[in-house]
Amino acid sequence: MNTLEFKKEICIPSLDLASEILALKKKMNAVILAHYYQESEIQDLADFIGDSLELSKRAAATEADVIVFAGVHFMAETAKILNPGKKVLLPDLNAGCSLAEGCPAPMLKQFKEEHPGHIVISYINCSAAVKAISDIICTSSNAVKIVEQVPADKKIIFAPDRNLGRYIMKKTGREMLLWDGSCIVHETFSDRKIIQLKTENPNALLIAHPECEEVILNRAEFIGSTSALLKFTAESTSNEFIVATEEGIIHQMQKLSPQKKFIPAPPDANCSCNECPYMKLNTLEKLYLCMKDGRPEITLDEDIRQKALKPIQLMLEMS
Q: Which stretch binds ligand SF4 (CB under 6 A): 38-46, 103-111, 179-187, 232-240?
A: 179-187
Interface residues toward ligand 13P, by CB under 6 A:
51-52, 97, 125, 139-141, 183, 211, 225-226
HSE at residue 138, side-chain half, CA atoms within 13 A, is: 26
Give SS3 for 260.
coil
Contact 25, 42 (CB under 8 A): no
**Between 20 and 148, CB nearer to ligand 13P:** 148
Among 206, 276, 284, 308, binds ligand SF4 (CB under 6 A): 276
Cβ–Cβ contacts within 10 Å for residue 214, how many?
Answer: 12
Q: Of 62, 50, 80, nearest to 308 (Cα)?
A: 80
Residue (24 or 165) nearer to ligand 13P, CB: 165
Residue 140 binding result from ligand SF4, ligand 13P, none, given CB thresholds of 5 to 8 Å by partner type: ligand 13P
Partner whose footprint covers residue 184, from ligand SF4, ligand 13P, none (CB < 5 to 8 Å by kind): ligand SF4
Partner that binds at residue 157, options ligand SF4, ligand 13P, none, CB closer than 5 to 8 Å by kind: none
Residue closer to ligand SF4, measured from CB, 35 or 305: 35
Give the whole-angstrom CA distance, residue 237 versus residue 232.
9
Strands 30-35 and 48-50: parallel
The Cβ of residue 92 has, within 10 Å, a number of other Cβ atoms equal to 20
- Region 218-247 residues binding ligand SF4, contact defined as CB under 6 A: 246
Please report, as a single letter, which amino acid is at residue 84: P
Q: Which stretches of the chain bind ligand SF4, using CB under 6 A? A: 37, 72, 97-99, 125, 183-186, 211, 246, 276, 278-279
